[in-house]
């Protein structure tokens, strides 16, 4: 049967990967499905994508979407440097990175913080279940204070909020969502693919095997009951001629790098995702109530990305001919002369 094709003539099937080996009901599977939907609906060519990950159940998931893309499964917590190298070598690639809360906020925290300050053009997704799923459910640094393990052990340490950290360090698109919220997650992912710079999406993604019990603050039931949306997100891609009607003052409009638009419908209060201090305040206030702020938390659309800051040539360095990457004898002599 022939299915619906997208604007580059591909069916949704062309965006699938291998069959998942994760547990049935794992939040990570739902996130892979939304990545497939987002790339299909945006008409992204899978052959121009590089999928990056570290180690963990979450980091296995790039195998389950975009089978035709390039991929690199790095060492635990070391994916950011591999991704940076890949993009420096080939700036034409679109990078989709998937990490876990352990992979990012424990062993990989050093790499994560430096990635966030560079504004590398990458969509970095944390599949956050508050535990090390692959190694049988130990608490991770994003586990909330007072959350319990399945065996009753209580977590006494405060969590690292990766959204607050990413905003502080300079990421230019920061959001939080829930693997069970199809609509919000899909809109954020599509917007992320239209942003030029570092996108950090923290997606709460329950581990049904080790962290979905009563007492866990990353269970399906807890997250559904404690979602504090900062706004309703509607994404309109640049290639669709849709005009959105809204009452003046009720919606904020944000234009993304490729001309796509985000319409952020105000809920209670007037949340401004371009206000850094306001974003911190909302994250802190929400966490204090035991809730999760979800939606587009922070955006800074106009800043130069890392590759632009470096003033790289337009062609990928990886395919430049030798004579353009190696200075000739005369050029070297001129440099040496200048150093005398
Ligand atoms: C250098 C190194 N240290 C420790 C491990 C063991 N290990 C494998 S996955 C993992 C944590 C995974 O947790 P997370 O990133 O949250 O992914 P999840 O499985 O929860 O999706 C650990 C500690 C390893 N593979 N390599
Ligand atoms: S152990 Fe947890 S994180 Fe890993 S696949 Fe199963 S449900 Fe998902
Ligand atoms: Mg985890």
Min mean pLDDT across 30-44, 61-75, 202-216, 263-277 is at 263-277
- pLDDT score for 280: 98
Ligand nearest to the CA of 134: 1
Q: Is the CB of 131 under 6 A from ligand 2?
A: no
Per-residue pLDDT tens digits for 205-237 = 999 999 999 999 999 999 999 999 999 999 999
- pLDDT score for 241: 87
CA distance 72 to 196: 21
Per-residue pLDDT tens digits for 166-193 = 999 999 999 999 999 999 999 999 999 9
Burial call 305-319: b when 16+ CB within 10 Å, e when fewer? bbbeeeeeeeeeeee
- pLDDT score for 259: 96
Q: What pTM did the predictor assign?
A: 0.96
Task: Give the mean pLDDT of 197-206.
Answer: 98
- pLDDT score for 109: 98
What rounded mean pLDDT belongs to the chain? 96
- pLDDT score for 58: 98
Per DSSP, what are the bridge partners of residue 176?
202, 295
CA distance 205 to 179: 5
Q: Is the CB of 130 under 6 A from ligand 1?
A: no
CA distance 267 to 245: 17
Q: Which residue has the higher pLDDT, 240 or 325?
A: 240
Per-residue pLDDT tens digits for 246-292 = 888 899 999 999 999 999 999 988 899 999 999 999 999 999 999 99
Reported as half-sphere exposure (CB side, CA atoms, 13 A), residue 97 has a value of 33
Q: What pLDDT band is residue 134 in, cutting at 50, 70 and 90?
A: very high
Task: Give the mean pLDDT of 10-23.
Answer: 98
**CA of 28, closest atom in ligand 1:** 21
- pLDDT score for 2: 61
Distance of CA 226 from the midpoint of ligand 2 (Å): 22
- Reference 196, options 173, 175, 177; nearest CA is 173
Determine how many CB atoms are found less than 10 A away from the CB of residue 301.
16
Distance of CA 55 from the midpoint of ligand 3 (Å): 10
| pLDDT(102) > 80 | yes
Distance of CA 98 from the midpoint of ligand 2 (Å): 15
Distance of CA 55 from the midpoint of ligand 1 (Å): 5
């Amino acid at each position: 049967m022939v299915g619906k094709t997208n604007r580059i003539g591909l069916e949704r099937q062309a965006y699938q990967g291998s069959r998942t080996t994760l547990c049935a009901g794992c939040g990570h599977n739902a996130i892979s499905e939304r990545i497939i939907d987002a790339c299909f609906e945006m008409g992204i060519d899978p052959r121009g994508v590089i999928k990056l990950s570290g180690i963990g159940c979450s980091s296995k998931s790039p195998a389950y979407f975009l089978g035709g893309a390039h991929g690199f499964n790095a060492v635990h917590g070391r994916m950011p440097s591999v991704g940076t190298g890949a993009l420096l070598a080939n700036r034409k690639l679109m990078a989709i990175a998937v990490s876990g809360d352990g992979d990012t906020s424990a062993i990989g925290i050093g790499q994560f913080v430096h990635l966030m300050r560079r504004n590398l053009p990458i969509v970095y997704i944390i599949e956050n279940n508050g535990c090390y799923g692959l190694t049988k459910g130990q608490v991770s640094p994003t586990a909330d204070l007072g959350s319990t393990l399945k065996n009753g052990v209580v977590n006494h340490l405060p969590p690292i909020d990766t959204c607050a950290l990413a905003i502080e360090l300079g990421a230019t698109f920061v959001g939080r969502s829930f693997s069970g919220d199809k609509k919000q997650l899909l809109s954020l992912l599509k917007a992320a693919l239209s942003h030029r710079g570092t996108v950090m999406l923290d997606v709460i993604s329950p581990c049904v095997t080790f962290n979905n019990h009563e007492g866990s603050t990353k269970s399906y039931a807890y997250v559904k009951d404690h979602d504090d949306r900062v706004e309703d997100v509607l994404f309109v891609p640049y290639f669709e001629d849709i005009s959105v009607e809204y009452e003046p003052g009720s919606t904020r409009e944000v234009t993304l790098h490729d001309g796509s638009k985000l319409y952020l419908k105000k809920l209670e209060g007037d949340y401004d995702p371009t206000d850094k201090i306001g974003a911190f305040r909302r994250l802190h206030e929400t966490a204090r109530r035991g809730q999760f702020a979800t939606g587009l938390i922070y955006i800074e659309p106009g800043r130069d990305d890392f590759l632009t800051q470096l003033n790289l040539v337009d062609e990928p360095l990886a395919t430049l001919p030798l004579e353009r990457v190696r200075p000739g004898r005369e050029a070297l002599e001129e440099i040496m002369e200048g150093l005398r």
